[in-house]
Structure 1
């Protein structure tokens, strides 16, 4: 049987037209299996779906985001979609978290920083993606061939505590179902260990430009509502030209707390009298009390005490002198030589105490009475030609013998 030439040409043209379309439909034929995360970590099918539950209680659950899976080897890249779905479902199966963003959302929101975030294993480079995605728990993983065999390493960043937890699972090959199940169970247990129900804080402020902070985290401007980890937190609300409001909060898991803040204007203090007027007023009103704070008062008291001691010692010496004669006429003095010498020394010391104490007392009294009048603030004493005050003060120092 012969086929006409025209029919052969038509069949050949149909084959050439159908083959490219068929090849495009088969995703495996056009799949790039290199280690580039832009292709291997984009899972087909339902991995772009939002797996969050419709239960309203999920609002207070920690938000979980699976960033992606780094697969350097070809065999691991071929199973990346299966592993990503298994890890995501394992985390959600714990019942302790809700999905904050799927892989497509995470890729779009992180943009150029996505690839670096997927390969990050430390808190320093995972904290920023967690803040951008508003993820309380953020996990990135790596499936590779190591010395111990095929190994899955999962790093989970806890935004509340700012620490990274690592889970490691080894298996025979990436297709091993037991290997995948063990990794899924590990991630589920990690979610159960770290997840803490959120607390909702609502802050109402009377100033629309006020900045609301809890600890080092800025919640927003004006009245805000935010999900926060439970525990003790320091609330601070501030605005320019207004007083700052602070309060220590004790947020309980699953609870809602509302705080009403009313900031008051904090302008400059009203103008008052000058420093000179205050000094003059305090000098007039508190002059009597200020005397007791001056050392000259106490030196005057010391001088008086010295005079009193000198007078007592002088009287005692005079008594000895009165008994120094021969009252009974037997040719022998009534006091011994030692007593006479002690009396003379006592008389000399008494004279020194009386004279010295009198000088100190007189100088202190003059310093208390004369110097305050001389040192009172006046315009003439500040002028260059006003030497009277300085001369009298120097003369007083020379007379008294020092400053009291």
Structure 2
């Protein structure tokens, strides 16, 4: 039995055409993309993010809308719509990333949330910015002023620690054009302030090393952190290891990687005091001068020569002294007067040579021995060798 294809095709076509309307009547099929259901928080985290993906989105500055403070009841009734408009204007710029939605912001700030919403100075913005890890932070106030309904925003720039105020006026708080103008105003402000972050990666060879950027500890071991662009000082330290520092100039949107190798720095070895070490180091500076290149050797030889000459002249004068008596008993001295005068002069000269030569010799020998050990020449008085010289003087000298 053969079944005609045409009737079957017609039935399938009719079924496909009727399916969408039947599914809508049943309400159980299809994807509901409407936004009639109220969102948990207006303006933040609603719907699908259909913006094009950005590979460097993690480097965008983080933005948080803290809240809106309305001074009149009419403005408070429109607060959800205003928050949604401001959030839409902020995120539509694609120059910031959301740090937290309104619900998360309120949870993190806890009891400090109300004070943060009314904040208009840098002093009260600093702590909420740290708690939310937000680079840009905005609060808003809707009030009825002399010029009419006015929306004011205060945007805190954590990098520069400055607050920027903007204002826009309208006819009534429910005016859609009024809201759109305020959203455009916030968008322009964020575009002017936004600076892409820099991604800093620090790789260390010691897992317990502490990594600091400036005065802030950013982690232990190898870390990766979003960092404000500009000059920063990276310091890595660990117990029993040395400390390494690096100064970097981070550019907006850049990714910087730093490799840090710490070296073990144990306690100093035990040894003699610094003075002794210095003495040993100075004694090992190098070989001393050759003995034959030292002047003290030659002055010692000169002193010995003078002593020798003095001894010879003293012996000669002693011989004349022995012959100065009357050996044959004839009443006449055996030497002439001139010989006696010459012998006396020789005795005096011999004494001078013995004393001077002895002193020079003693001083030169002391110089040779003591200077290498003490590093400075030791001066000796000329009477150092006075003991021997005096005995010779007493033996040779005398009057005739």
User: Could you tell me whether the CA contact under 8 Å between 2:42 and 2:83 is conserved in 1?
Assistant: no
SS in 2 for 1:113: helix
Match of 2:231 in 1: 232
Hey, what does 1:89 align to over in structure 2? Answer: 88
- The normalised TM-score by structure 1 is 0.57
* Pairing 1:1-400 to 2, within 5 Å after superposition: 46-49=42-45, 53=51, 55-57=53-55, 58-275=57-274, 277-278=276-277, 280-281=279-280
Please state how far the C-alpha of 1:87 moved relative to its aligned partner: 0.6
Shift of 1:264: 1.6
- CA deviation string 1:334-389 (max 9, x = no partner): xxxxxxxxxxxxxxxxxxxxxxxxxxxxxxxx9xx89xx8xx99xxxxxxxxxxxx
| Change in CA separation of 1:45 and 1:100 when aligned onto 2, cut-off 3 Å | closer
CA distance in 1, matches of 2:122, 2:239: 34
TM-fit CA distance, 1:164: 1.3
Deviation at 1:233, TM superposition (A): 2.1
Change (3 A) 1:79 1:269: same
Query: Retained in 1: the 8 A contact 2:44–2:84?
Result: no
The CA distance in 2 between the partners of 1:279 and 1:207, in whole Å, is: 36
> Can you list the C-alpha shifts for 1:228-265, whole angstroms capped at 9, x where unaligned?
23333222222233211211223233232222222122
Per the alignment, residue 315 of structure 1 pairs with: none
1:163-210, Cα deviation, whole Å (9 max, x unpaired): 111112222321233322221111000111011222211212222222
Q: CA deviation at 1:82?
A: 0.9
Distance 1:45 1:131 in 2: 22
Aligned equivalents of 1:45 and 1:103: distance in 2?
6
2:390 corresponding residue in structure 1: none
Other structure's SS at 2:131 match: helix
When residues 263 and 64 of structure 1 are mapped into structure 2, their CA distance, relative to the original with a 3 A threshold, is: same
The answer on whether the counterparts of 1:50 and 1:102 sit within 8 Å (CA) in structure 2 is: no
SS for the counterpart of 2:177 is helix
Q: Could you tell me which residue of structure 2 aligns to residue 354 of structure 1?
A: none
The 8 Å contact of residues 43 and 80 in structure 1, kept in 2 or not, is answered as no
CA contact (8 A) 1:50 1:99 kept: no
Q: Is contact 1:211-1:218 (8 Å) kept? A: yes
Q: CA deviation at 1:44?
A: 5.5
CA contact 1:65–1:102 (8 Å) conserved in 2: yes
Q: Using a 3 Å threshold, how does the CA distance of structure 1 residues 50 and 59 change in structure 2: closer, same or farther?
A: farther
Q: Once superposed, what is the RMSD of the aligned Cα atoms?
A: 3.8
Unpaired stretches in structure 1, ≥5 consecutive residues: 1-41, 290-365, 378-404
Q: Residue 263 of structure 1 aligns to a residue in which SS?
A: coil
TM-score between the two structures when normalised by the length of structure 2:
0.58
SS of 1:47's partner is coil
Q: How many residues align?
A: 268
Instruction: Quote the Cα distance in structure 1 between the aligned partners of 2:152 and 2:135.
Output: 20
Secondary structure, in 3 states, of the residue corresponding to 2:68?
Answer: strand
Q: 1:282 to 1:95 in 2, by over 3 A?
A: closer
Secondary structure of 1:104 counterpart: helix
Alpha-carbon offset, residue 279 of structure 1: 5.9
Q: CA deviation at 1:147?
A: 3.3
| Structure with greater helix share of residues | 1
